[in-house]
Amino acid sequence: MDISKHVQAVETFKEITEMELSEFVKNLSTEELNPAYNLIVKAKKNGNRVHVTGIGKPSYVAGYIASLFSSTGTPAYVLHGTEAIHGSSGQVKEGDIVIAISNSGETEELIKTVTTVKNNGAKVISVSGNRESWLAKQGDAFLFAGVDKEGGPLNKAPRISYLAEIVVLQALSIALQNEENIDLQDYKKWHPGGALGKSIK
């Protein structure tokens, strides 16, 4: 077995990841976050909720982001990307926010879900690596999460684009947490178990 070949592939991945993420973060603009931020702040003030959805691998990003938002002052719920058109969109009320994640922005199942929640009266924040995609154009706000290279041998499996989706939504979570003026006691209240809660005296 040629170990050197695998080592080289990993080293290439590291180089591409550093380059792509560095460029992505450098170009991440607070101004581009503002429309999404404003939508969520307004919805929360009106008693509406935030939902996060995606198909395939972005569905795992959705789960993490919903959990992150919830733990930092913005209650959020996972909306199952395919079950939404089979009744689960009933969790989305008029005025709610749905964050929809898709690298291509053209995923058929997500198109159906976004169409459904918009018909329910929800506002959509689109997260995609394709500024010209259907999803980007359908969003009431758009967050770009695009990279040129994924870092793998075929440049197909989502690796670095997945990280870009996470980073842009983490940045949004920072803005929202700051809006709520969350302090350590709030954080401890929401994290009574585990090392996080114990670390707060």
Q: Is the pLDDT of residue 184 over 90?
A: no
Asked if residue 84 is part of any domain, the answer here is: yes
- pLDDT for 3: 66
Asked if residue 91 is part of any domain, the answer here is: yes
Asked if residue 25 is part of any domain, the answer here is: yes
Q: Is the pLDDT of residue 2 over 70?
A: no
Q: Which long-range contacts (CB under 8 A, 24 or more apart) does 41-49 make?
A: 41/176, 41/179, 43/95, 43/96, 43/97, 43/123, 44/74, 46/95, 48/93, 48/95, 48/96, 48/97, 49/75, 49/76, 49/77, 49/93, 49/96, 49/97
Query: What is the mean pLDDT of the segment spanning 161-183?
Result: 93
Residue whose token pair is 């702040």: 41
Number of structural domains found in the chain = 1
Q: Phi, psi (5° rounding) for residue 82?
A: -105, -30
Asked if residue 198 is part of any domain, the answer here is: no
Domain interval for residue 110 = 3-191
Query: What is the mean pLDDT of the segment spanning 166-174?
Result: 98
Q: Is the pLDDT of residue 194 over 80?
A: no
Query: What is the mean pLDDT of the segment spanning 40-49?
Result: 97
Asked if residue 31 is part of any domain, the answer here is: yes
CATH number of the domain that residue 129 is part of: 3.40.50.10490
Per-residue pLDDT band for 6 (boundaries 50, 70, 90) equals: confident
Q: Is the pLDDT of residue 126 over 90?
A: yes
Asked if residue 29 is part of any domain, the answer here is: yes
Asked if residue 199 is part of any domain, the answer here is: no
Asked if residue 163 is part of any domain, the answer here is: yes
